[in-house]
Amino acid sequence: MADSSKPSIFQIIGSVVSAAFGVQSTANRERDFSGGSAKTYILAGIVFTALFIVVIVGVVRLVLS
């Protein structure tokens, strides 16, 4: 990690996905809380949730058609 105070976009995405599935490591969680902005993680969580719902709806429609 180049800058320990601010996580990269890929680290944020990884943290959001890991947290969504309940497998976030303690080290990553501490990095997120110490250097990340809450707004960034909230926005990333909302985007992830919306994409997840769209994918689930798409799979269900595909299966039922």
pLDDT digit string, tens, across residues 5-48: 788 889 899 999 998 888 888 888 888 888 878 899 999 999 99
Q: b or e along 21-58 (b: 16 or more beta carbons within 10 Å of the residue's beta carbon)?
A: eeebeeebeebbeeebeeebbeebbeeeeeeeeeeeee
Task: Return d(Cα 61, Cα 39) in angstroms, integer.
Answer: 33
pLDDT higher at 51 or 37:
51
- Report domain extents, the chain: 9-64
| Among 7, 64, 65, CA closest to 41 | 7
Task: Return d(Cα 18, Cα 48) in angstroms, integer.
Answer: 11
The answer, yes or no, to whether residue 3 has pLDDT greater than 90, is no
Look at residue 30 in the predicted model and tell me its pLDDT: 86
Confidence band, pLDDT 50/70/90 cuts, at residue 4: low
The answer, yes or no, to whether residue 2 has pLDDT greater than 60, is no
